[in-house]
Amino acid sequence: MNTQLLLIQVFNGLVNGAFYALLSLGLAVIFGMLRIVNFMHGALYMLGAFTAFALGQAFGLGFWPSLILAPIIVALLGMVLERTLLSRLYGLDPSYNLLLTFGLTLLTQDLVKQVMLSQYAVSSAPYTPPAALAGVVNLGFVVFPKYRLFVIALSLVLCLLTWFVIEKTRVGAIIRASTENPGVTRAFGIDVGKWVTGVFGVGVGLAGLAGVLAAPIYSVEPYMGSELIITTFAVVVIGGLGSILGSVVTGFAVGVLAAVGAAIYPPIANTLVFILMALVLLVRPSGLFGLPEGTR
């Protein structure tokens, strides 16, 4: 195959990777603090896209205001759910919160489906990217849609920002301390419970933002998050839930590998991520960046 095509696939892989990274980053942050895996992450990603679409329909808001507003709305909704529902199950086996968020996923998807059908009489809707990002860019060696480059860049910036906040700031120190040892952190006079809600909000806000970013590429559709979340779970297993940076690197790397693999042997497109997961499990059961189980 020619280099041109391969390069395009690398860029397409980076776009997919941008979504994997944003979602697995949110999952990792939430897992670190709450010790739960949020199955609802995919549904909240969809809700981000849907909110952007609905804001456009109701108030004529364009892409840019929605890119700010929709994630905030999703984050607030997430925080309400965390306070009212998820927090009821903290004393129990973390499996119960996985099940709860699974039930919420079914509920959210079908509610959105009903709303889309009854309000807008559509089962899926396109979403136009802003005019400033329409068209293509000639990078010299390859021509690529401007909007997709923007997605890659924004995702990278957000991931680095999250990493910086968690690793280098006082807020991050509190979060890391609460993650490592909630009891001792409380003894220092920090209200861990309050931070839990905030961190959950940021994590799902990232998912909502990924949803808005995805809306112009894929169309807005009630089930757009369900396959993505399962693939993201595979990415998380490959990377391990151990580190923030690990989830970002794995997200982009898996995106590129899967896209290039699909170009070389197309039938493997959907399954390559899972094959990679099986291989990693054979060699390192706790993932590339994960700590062996029992040490945390």
Partner 1 sequence: MTVLPRTAARTERQRMTRAAWLIGLGLVLLILPRLIYPVLALDILAWGLFAVAFDLLFGFSGLLSFGHAAFWGTSAYVTAFLLSHGQGVPVAMLGGTGAALLLAVPIGFLSVRSIGIYFSMITLAFAQMISFVALQWTDVTGGENGLQGFARPGFLGLDFSDSTTRYYFCLAVFAVGFYVAYRTVRSPFGQALQAVRDNEQRAQSIGYNPTRFKFTAFLISATLAGLAGSMFTFGHGVVSLDVLNWRTSGEVVMMTLLGGTGTLFGPVIGAGLVLLLRDVLTTANLPVGIVTGLVFVLVVLFFRRGVVGTVQHWLRRR
Residues that bind partner 1 (CB under 8 A): 31, 36-37, 85, 88-89, 92-96, 98-100, 102-111, 113-114, 226-227, 230-231, 233-234, 236-237, 267, 270-271, 274-275, 277-278, 281-282, 285-286, 293
To the nearest whole angstrom, how small is the minimum distance from the Cβ of residue 35 to partner 1? 8
Answer whether 38's CB lies under 8 Å from 233's CB: no
CB of 11 or CB of 96, closer to partner 1? 96
Nearest to 28 by CA among 198, 224, 233: 233
CB of 206 or CB of 276, closer to partner 1? 276
CB of 95 or CB of 128, closer to partner 1? 95
Answer whether 23's CB lies under 8 Å from 207's CB: yes
CA dist 267 to 38, 101, 256, 261, 271, Å? 30, 32, 16, 10, 8
Cα Dmax for the chain: 61
Cα–Cα–Cα angle for 116, 120, 122, nearest 5°?
65
Integer Cα distance of 34 and 199 in angstroms: 9
To the nearest whole angstrom, how small is the minimum distance from the Cβ of residue 155 to partner 1? 22
CB of 99 or CB of 132, closer to partner 1? 99
To the nearest whole angstrom, how small is the minimum distance from the Cβ of residue 288 to partner 1? 14
To the nearest whole angstrom, how small is the minimum distance from the Cβ of residue 188 to partner 1? 28
To the nearest whole angstrom, how small is the minimum distance from the Cβ of residue 122 to partner 1? 17
To the nearest whole angstrom, how small is the minimum distance from the Cβ of residue 277 to partner 1? 6
CB of 98 or CB of 142, closer to partner 1? 98
CA dist 197 to 193, 194, 277, Å? 7, 6, 31
CB of 41 or CB of 148, closer to partner 1? 41
Element (H, E) at 102: helix 95-115
To the nearest whole angstrom, how small is the minimum distance from the Cβ of residue 80 to partner 1? 14
Answer whether 203's CB lies under 8 Å from 45's CB: no
Nearest to 225 by CA among 235, 204, 211: 211
CB of 75 or CB of 104, closer to partner 1? 104
